[in-house]
Amino acid sequence: DTGVSQNPRHKITKRGQNVTFRCDPISEHNRLYWYRQTLGQGPEFLTYFQNEAQLEKSRLLSDRFSAERPKGSFSTLEIQRTEQGDSAMYLCASSDSRGPAFFGQGTRLTVV
């Protein structure tokens, strides 16, 4: 499978717990993006990497959120002390420097 892969597909967690999501981009893509989508809305930009460098973070990304892309390959998004408002679909996408972004299947987070 040469597409963007996200794990897990679904995550249910209790409020206050930490969660971590993983994204494996398309192998030749140097850019990796994280978006968040809630019901009835379009995806909202969270952050993006070019290779291993995190180039931009949205103000939506509070101190409880952190993203990494060690070695410029896969990326992880961690949410600490989850809140009910964090419940959403977390989408990862990748692209090369000039091409369009392709999305993974998403990780649906439910905070109870």
Partner 1 sequence: QKEVEQNSGPLSVPEGAIASLNCTYSDRGSQSFFWYRQYSGKSPELIMFIYSNGDKEDGRFTAQLNKASQYVSLLIRDSQPSDSATYLCAGGNEKLTFGTGTRLTIIP
- Count of alpha carbons within 13 angstroms of residue 19, beta-carbon side: 24
Helix (H) or strand (E) holding 85: none
Instruction: Report the residue number, 74 or 102, with the smaller CB distance to partner 1.
Output: 102
Of positions 55, 64, 83, 112, contacts partner 1 by CB under 8 A? 55
Residue 42 is a binding residue for partner 1 (CB under 8 A): yes
Q: Where are the beta strands (DSSP E) in the chain?
A: 5-7, 10-13, 19-24, 31-37, 44-50, 53-57, 65-68, 75-79, 88-95, 102-103, 107-111
Of positions 19, 77, 88, 91, contacts partner 1 by CB under 8 A? 91
Of positions 32, 43, 79, 111, contacts partner 1 by CB under 8 A? 43
Which residues inside 13-32 make contact with partner 1, applying CB under 8 A?
A: 31
Using a 10 angstrom Cβ sphere, with 0-12 exposed, 13-18 middle and 19 or more buried, the burial of residue 93 is buried
# residues near partner 1 by CB under 8 A = 22
Of positions 56, 68, 78, 96, contacts partner 1 by CB under 8 A? 56
Instruction: Report the residue number, 74 or 103, with the smaller CB distance to partner 1.
Output: 103
Which residue shows structure tokens 């963007």? 4
Of positions 22, 29, 44, 52, contacts partner 1 by CB under 8 A? 44
